[in-house]
Amino acid sequence: MIHAGNAITVQMLTDGIAEFRFDLQGESVNKFNRVTIDDFQAAIDAVKADQSVQGLIVTSAKPTFIVGADITEFGTTFAAGEDAIVDWVLALHNTFNAFEDLDIPKVAAINGVALGGGFEMCLVCDYRVMSDKAQVGLPEVKLGLIPGFGGTVRLSRVIGIDNAIDWIATSAPRKGAAALKEGAVDAVVAHDQLQAAALDLVKQAIDGRLDWKAKRQEKLQPVKLNAIEQIMAFNAAKGVVFAKAKPSQYPAPKLLLDALEKGSSLSRNDALVEEAKAFAKAAVTPQSEALIGLFLNDQVVKKTSKKYEKGAHEVKQAAVIGAGIMGGGIAFQAASKGTPIIMKDIGNAQLALGMDEATKLLTKQVERKKMKPAQMGETLARIRPTLGYDEFKDVDIVIEAVTENPKIKDIVLRETESKVGPNTIIASNTSTISITRLAQSLERPENFVGMHFFNPVPLMPLVEVIRGEKTSPEAIATTVVLAQKMGKTPIVVNDCPGFLVNRVLFPYFGAFDQLIRDGADFQQIDKVMHNFGWPMGPAYLMDVVGIDTGVHGAEVMAEGFPDRMQLGFKGAIELMYEAQRLGQKNDVGFYKYELDKKGKKAKTVDPTAYDVIAPSVTAEKREFDEHEIIDRMMVTFCNETVRCLEDNIVATPAEADMAMIMGVGFPAFRGGPCRYIDQVGVAEYVALCDKYAHLGKGYEAPQMLRDMAANNKKFYG
């Protein structure tokens, strides 16, 4: 044994070739944490000291290669400030350079996922062989960062600037064929041939049949482009990248381009300094803090969901009642992930609508080459349309997706309960109606649970699993596991009107109505909130949701929380509804909708909208300061999120933040409402609440926040 550490072992295999093996003890995956980094340098020193080693293959003892850096260690490092981060990164560069500069050929045998620092480890090797089951990539931009272990420097020299920008800026991992085509790896082989292929490459290099020193030299020199070619490449890249990611919202892509542009004409070591500086600049941004926090929150949510697996019943057969757009979407989602599902409605026309929706969604998958026609046929075969309950006795779970009307739901739920087995779980897809209230008409309320999908079902990742007063742990666990199986992220919440997401969203619409009442232009509000980071402003969002849906939801919420959600005046949204302007449903709402050249509904300005909402405006129309618009919209939204934590509707800030990002499109780079309050400063945020408290109870700071401010506490850290 040449080296035996806590993360790396080095041992001789054959003919002067040693295996440099990553195997981080006590962990299920390899990652670059402090233990691995320390051991990396020790292993390099051991190889240098052993003159018998003529070549290396770099392997992993785990199913993944290396998943990247240990993100949980970033907090302490990043808190030390920009200069300290630069010093930390340059020390890492020294270690990676020391490995790259070993005067022997090195081949990475990539057996599984190699991302971020894991793929950067592969890039310091002279050759890369990849299993046909592996994936490689540099996803750091997703965390508001740029590659920090030499990825910008080495990848741009291996595959060219254009390709490197695409790899890093999009964060998309590559499978073998794509990586080979662009030159990021040298070979892709069957999984069981990986080690043999890596050994063969090393032998060829040792024997002089491959010029491995020339391969290495390419990474030590400037990029092979003249000054004019470089200017053209970066100008083109800036146009594409900045169109997708505004530097004010996502600074990392700009910092990436800056580092690449400065480093492309420099030698490796000097270029790495530019990378270190850019990495440090990205690391101290609030966007990076938020996006790293989001990644960690996602892990919390996944771990929480996994805990439910033990208490769940297997779902071999599901059913959905209501074959509209929602029911068809649910049926598609279940079937496409392998769960057979019965789809029931009261008429053939309704069933046809549901099947058409599922067929349309599957056809799109085929057109995008995400599914083969044969798979489409198999998936459709898992959906069985029916008008009766004959097959319902053997169903494990029934998802009710009928009209959002409590009387209709009561009838359907009672009827369903009488037709299913005693252990069948019934889940309602209601978006606002209390699960405890709906359970009152059932004989087995312990089997009743909320399972709130968001529209459109295939695109929205969140499912709220709602616990009623009498819902059993088994019903919750089974619904959580089914949601996971359907490819969704379930978050368990306790019951109240609107549950978590809609309870928080409707005060946001209430703030919108109040701004219009006070003389704000809805188009200005939309523009400001879109620039703040929302996918669309509140007027446009209401048009997309459906103004009739919005009004109905607002009525439910006002009844549930009259002190905060009863407007006390007829707002613009209600006036739109009375004028039968329903948004995209009938092509006219706050905006007018016409088909564009691609056949999609495009919004256009409709001056008559201002006449419709004029009765709600009680103040002189004026241009608002954008900060006032942001503050008024966000205070009600964030306050209600905190109240959901106070009321134990949602268990943790992590789950609350994830739900808002996945459920309503809260700006990801702001990390969620709790993270947003932290970044504003809790005391400063409470002062903001006090400033607008005269507008109503929804603007008043929750007691939880006042206590946190008094004790200098934050939601995170």
Judge contact between 220 and 158, C-beta under 8 A: no
DSSP H or E segment with residue 595: strand 592-595
Encoded tokens for 2: 């040449």
Task: Please state, in angstroms and rounded to a whole number, the distance separating the CA atoms of residues 45 and 201.
Answer: 24
Instruction: Specify the residue for token string 């392998």.
Output: 338
DSSP conformational letter for 702: P
DSSP bridge pairs for 11: 19
Judge contact between 124 and 158, C-beta under 8 A: no
Q: What are phi and psi of 320, to 5 degrees?
A: -130, 135
Judge contact between 104 and 49, C-beta under 8 A: no
Instruction: Specify the residue for token string 């030698």.
Output: 267
Judge contact between 500 and 656, C-beta under 8 A: yes
Task: Please state, in angstroms and rounded to a whole number, the distance separating the CA atoms of residues 312 and 396.
Answer: 11
Task: Please state, in angstroms and rounded to a whole number, the distance separating the CA atoms of residues 276 and 281.
Answer: 9
Helix (H, G, I), strand (E, B) or coil at 441: coil
Task: Please state, in angstroms and rounded to a whole number, the distance separating the CA atoms of residues 19 and 11.
Answer: 5
> Which residue among 452, 530, 552, 627 is the active-site one?
452
Task: Please state, in angstroms and rounded to a whole number, the distance separating the CA atoms of residues 677 and 166.
Answer: 34
Encoded tokens for 252: 């990392």
Judge contact between 450 and 434, C-beta under 8 A: no
C-alpha closest to that of 574 among 547, 556, 600:
547
Q: Is 258 left (phi over 0), alpha (psi -120 to 50) or beta?
A: alpha
Using CA atoms, how far residue 84 sits from 43, 91, 98, 283, in Å, is 26, 11, 21, 11
Task: Please state, in angstroms and rounded to a whole number, the distance separating the CA atoms of residues 113 and 249.
Answer: 29
Task: Please state, in angstroms and rounded to a whole number, the distance separating the CA atoms of residues 439 and 433.
Answer: 11
Task: Please state, in angstroms and rounded to a whole number, the distance separating the CA atoms of residues 560 and 407.
Answer: 17
DSSP H or E segment with residue 645: helix 626-646
The verdict on whether 93 is a catalytic residue reads no
**Alpha-helical runs (H) found in 115-211:** 117-124, 151-159, 161-170, 176-181, 194-206
Task: Please state, in angstroms and rounded to a whole number, the distance separating the CA atoms of residues 116 and 36.
Answer: 15
Active centre residues (catalytic): 452
